[in-house]
Amino acid sequence: MKTRKMYNSKEEFERLHPYVCVEAPNFDGKKYAPAQIIKSFTSKKVAENRSEGGLIMTRKQAEKFIKRWNEDFKAQLSK
């Protein structure tokens, strides 16, 4: 049986899991869905070994990437 670790706050979880896998769906050069974080990891090595595709980056890099991606996605929809 798998146990779940409880964290005191979102900040504690993010501090202990600084690397994330980001899903940014695109096809034929067009963005067809908003980008989102799909998994969090404790180290870059673990992220590279356990992620099933997606982009591996730090949480700070992911926030900037997701913001830019989603703004472009919304602009693409309004065309």
- Domain enclosing residue 67, as ranges: 12-77
Encode the chain (79 residues) as per-residue pLDDT tens digits: 677 888 999 999 999 999 999 999 988 888 889 999 999 999 999 999 998 889 999 999 999 999 999 999 999 888 7
Asked whether residue 62 is assigned to any structural domain, the reply reads yes
Residue 59 lies in a domain: yes
The pLDDT value recorded for residue 51 is 84
Question: pTM for the full model?
Answer: 0.84
Asked whether residue 68 is assigned to any structural domain, the reply reads yes
How many domains in the chain? 1
For 51-74, give one letter per residue: b (16+ CB within 10 A) or e. Answer: beebebbeeeebeebbeebbeebe
Give a yes or no: residue 7 inside a domain: no
Q: For position 33, what pLDDT does the model report? A: 92
Flag whether 46 is in a domain.
Answer: yes
Let me know if residue 58 belongs to a domain: yes
User: Which pLDDT value is given to residue 1?
Assistant: 67
Whether 40 maps to a domain, the answer reads yes
